[in-house]
Structure formats: structure tokens, C-alpha cells
Structure 1
Amino acid sequence: MVYGINHTTLTDADVIVSNASCTTNCLAPIAKPLYDSVGIEQGLMTTIHAYTNDQNLSDVYHNDPYRARAAAHSMIPTKTGPAAAIGLVMPELKGQLDGLAVRVPH
């Protein structure tokens, strides 16, 4: 659920509600007016995000060479879920957006 986008779909029967991710909460308010005014055939989003605790702090072996780099010293491109998750918030955009994240030192 993203307030201002699909909050009106909530009912009294909804006991547990997911407030979506921070990136989905940023993407939906931009995608909605664009879709409503001119439509969206397909799109690509990029998010810049601080590195996370599942990344290595030193260079190590990894099957994915990007994930082998030290998080605190590298800008690391990786996949992100909000481009796909936008279809849960705005079903009309399901499958139309793709995206990537760049994990950066903070």
C-alpha cells in the first residue's frame, strides 16, 4: 500500500497491511501522474542506495564480480525489487517497469 496511490482499496477486512518499500513509496507518486496524464508503455528506474549489511566490507571471492567488491569503497550495481513491486500497487503497470540499484558508500 502506498498512501495517496492505492490506499482507498483498503477495507475493514484488511488486518495486515504492507506499507511497501521506501523505493516503491518514492516511485509510485511519480509513476501515477505520469501514467494518468500520458501513459507509460515501459520504463527504467535507477535508485542510489547506501550499501546494506548483507554486502562484504572487504574484497572477497564471489560468483558475481560486483558483489565481490568492498561495499564501503565501491559503487556496486545490483538488482532492485520496486520496479516489479509497483505492479502490486498499480496493477496497470505490472511488467512495464524495470530497474536497478547502485549501492554506494555512506
Structure 2
Amino acid sequence: GPVKDERALNVVMGVNEDRYDPAIHDIVTAASCTTNCLAPVVKAIHEGIGILRGSITTLHDLTNTQTLLDAPHKDLRRARAAGLSLIPTSTGSATAIGLIFPELAVARGLDA
């Protein structure tokens, strides 16, 4: 997921690598796999015709935030066995897109 620290730069090559400043950025991260897929498309559409509002659907393999068996969790969606369920949930890409394209604040709140 994205690093939310002003000393860090979430870089997607071909999109915002020109923002890197070694005097400011102590940490450079590749954001996330979903962000690396989404950001070039967002850039092309935004530069070509503009974006007023955004919505994505992404399918993702199991992650460390999911449980393999049904188990207690404050978010009932995440309590289900990940290998047996399709689980709609939020994605860190929404935050990362907002960091990479600050002018697209409406991109935040995307679901995976």
C-alpha cells in the first residue's frame, strides 16, 4: 500500500517519477501493484479528456490482511474465509491515486 509520509514519494514510472527530489524524499516506494496498473490509465485519461469522478473495480489475490478461515473480526467482510469468498473491501490504491494526482481528490474511496 501507499506510504503516507511527506518524506516518501509513491512513484509510478512513466507517471510521476519526475517529482523525485533527493533533498526531500528519504523514502521511495512503488505504491502498490494495483496503483501501478491504474495510475498510467488515470494519467492518460486525465491528460486527454479530464476526469471529474472515478470508480474502479479490481480483483486481487489473497493478502496478509485476510484470514484463511472464518474468524472473528470487527469488519464482518474480513471475518470470512478469504479462499472461499469474494470480499468487497477498500483498496489502498484510492489513497495512492490521491497522492500521485492531488488534483483528483475525488478518486479517494475506491473499492476493490
Report the TM-score range of the alignment, normalised by the length of the smaller protein: 0.7 to 0.9
1:3 alignment partner AA: M
Contact 1:45–1:83 (CA<8 Å) still a contact in 2? no
Mapped to 1, the partners of 2:65 and 2:33 lie a distance apart of 18
Aligned residue number for residue 4 of structure 1: 14
Larger relative contact order, structure 1 or 2 (CA cutoff 8 Å, min sep 6): 1
Tell me the TM-score normalized by structure 2: 0.78
Identity percentage over the alignment?
Answer: 50
Tell me the alpha carbon deviations over residues 33-57 of structure 1, each in whole angstroms, 9 at most, x when there is no partner: 1001111011111210012233222
Quote how far apart the aligned CAs of 1:65 are: 2.4
Trace 1:1-106 onto structure 2 (pairs within 5 A). Answer: 1-13=11-23, 14-93=25-104, 95-97=105-107, 98-101=109-112
Deviations 1:54-88 (A, max 9, x none): 32222233332212211111111111111121121
TM-aligned CA distance change 1:16 to 1:35, over 3 Å? same
SS at match of 1:17: strand
Q: Structure 1 residue 15: deviation in Å?
A: 4.0
Large movers: runs of 4+ above 4 Å: none
Larger Rg: 1
What is the number of equivalent residue pairs in this alignment? 100
* Counterparts of 2:74 and 2:13, CA distance in 1: 39
CA RMSD, 1 decimal: 1.6
- Structure 1 gaps of 5+ residues are 102-106
